[in-house]
Amino acid sequence: MKSLTVICLILFSCQMNAQYFQIDMDVLYANHVYYSFSQGATATDNGRSWDIGFAVHNQQEGGVFINEFAGRNMVPANLRIAPTTDFNDLIDINTVVLDTLRNDDEHWNEGAFNKPKIPNSPDDFGWGTKTNGVIYGNRVFVVSLPDSTYRKVSIDSFDASGNYYFRYANLDGSNLFHQSFNISQHSGKTMAHFSLVTNSFVNIEPYNWDLLFTRYNTPANLGSSNYFNYTVTGVLSGLDVEVVELDNVNPYTVDPANHCYSFDPDISTIGFDWKTYDLPNFAWEVDQDRVFFVKLQNDEIWRIFLFDFEGAFTGITTFEYANMGSPCQISTISEDLNSNFTGFSLYPNPASTLVEMVFDLKEQRDELEVQVTNMLGQVVNRFEIAGKQGLNAYRLPDLNLAGGTYVVQLVSGQDRISEQLIISK
């Protein structure tokens, strides 16, 4: 596996604007790792520091999660419905329903605590029911922790001001704790993580992340509508991140602009099945003709090609990534209705050397700055021109650009307009 990695890195060094990165989850996937395209790995956690999580990014959701991460001990926490709706009742573990509730692996709005909800019932949140803007808890749950101890948990309420109230105790009612918090205390986060063992919130999620390399549960289809959940090692995308998966393609030549309407907000679009285990050879194989394009909230698109997975022996995943710009932005024209720009185009595009820039101005401007940036956001050329009222045509000087993708931007103070330019040589 190491030799494959070295070979791939050599090949990647030849790719325009391509870079590589290694995610280290440690032996037996002991850690999970938050990753940002702009900053790299922004946080690493052993995954065992929390037990339940509250969605804090949206005050309307009431999403409550169980920690399904199975690290070095390979035992995740489990959530089940208690045989009573009265939190004060003593619970015999032998009477607890065996069916395990799992988090949703499609978005960050619904966790395992929400699973008992009645379908198509907007006021049912699984752990409680909304009345006059407040979700009141009406179920008791049993959490089985990785250390083989149990807690009974009740999410008592979640009000319109963003206040959560919940309690938990041993099954016999001992070691009772009442907790409350406001989601504003975790502003900028996707989830507030809480430990039933230390009785406190833990700060493990960074503010800036796009992908989470982790272990999570997903349903496997056995046919005839039969499913079972199992733990996998894979990649989940962050809040407001969309992904498109392309198979049977050349990862370096496929154009994301041809797939602008295929991006999916499903957080497990990258998921786990880009790799398979070759049992006869005791080695992991990675699909070499599969690539993912990841679109961030600012419409920036990144290519990610996962090309090596070393498995539980090291926990290392190696991938190549590149900034593809914003080819799927609906409009490059400023959304400000007061913008002086009303049109902008480059011709021909793709181009080899000479490029015509055509733009429309509501009012004359004597100083317009032209900026040319590469896909890393680096300015490679900058100069000034003048523009008259109405339609303008300007031939760009020979920019001496290598083949690749660039962004040409026309700037007037805070007013700007841009277009992607492909240089083909």
Asked whether residue 336 carries a pLDDT value surpassing 60, the answer given is no
What is the second-level CATH architecture of the domain 341-423?
A: Sandwich (2.60)
**14-73: per-residue pLDDT in tens?**
444 568 899 999 999 999 999 999 999 999 998 889 999 999 987 667 999 999 987 666
Asked whether residue 330 carries a pLDDT value surpassing 90, the answer given is no
The label of the residue with tokens 């990144």 reads 302
d(CA 301, CA 323): 6
d(CA 202, CA 199): 10
Asked whether residue 195 carries a pLDDT value surpassing 50, the answer given is yes
Asked whether residue 109 carries a pLDDT value surpassing 50, the answer given is yes
Q: What's the pLDDT band for 316 if we cut at 50, 70, 90?
A: very high
Q: What's the pLDDT band for 350 if we cut at 50, 70, 90?
A: confident
CB 193 within 8 A of CB 214: no
Asked whether residue 223 carries a pLDDT value surpassing 70, the answer given is no
Asked whether residue 361 carries a pLDDT value surpassing 90, the answer given is no
Percentage of the chain exceeding pLDDT 70: 90
Asked whether residue 228 carries a pLDDT value surpassing 50, the answer given is yes
Q: What's the pLDDT band for 11 if we cut at 50, 70, 90?
A: very low
Asked whether residue 359 carries a pLDDT value surpassing 70, the answer given is yes
Q: What's the pLDDT band for 5 if we cut at 50, 70, 90?
A: very low
**142-169: per-residue pLDDT in tens?**
999 988 899 999 999 999 999 999 999 9
How does the average pLDDT of the chain come out, rounded? 87
pLDDT of residue 416: 83
Mean pLDDT of 78-90: 95
pLDDT of residue 271: 95
CA nearest 274: which of 227, 310, 309, 313? 309
Q: What's the pLDDT band for 378 if we cut at 50, 70, 90?
A: confident
Q: What's the pLDDT band for 352 if we cut at 50, 70, 90?
A: confident
CB 340 within 8 A of CB 412: yes
Mean pLDDT of 322-327: 89
Whole-number Cα distances in Å, 224 to 51, 98, 261, 361: 34, 22, 32, 62
Asked whether residue 358 carries a pLDDT value surpassing 80, the answer given is yes
> Given the DSSP bridges, would you call strands 134-137 and 150-158 parallel, antiparallel or unpaired?
antiparallel
CB 137 within 8 A of CB 86: no
Query: In the chain, what are the domain boundaries?
Result: 2-45+209-323, 52-202, 341-423
Whole-number Cα distances in Å, 49 to 68, 100, 123: 12, 21, 32
182-214 residues labelled b (16+ CB within 10 A) or e (exposed): ebeebeebbbbbbbbeeeebeebbbeebbbbbb
Mean pLDDT of 218-242: 80
Q: What's the pLDDT band for 79 if we cut at 50, 70, 90?
A: very high
Mean pLDDT of 253-278: 90
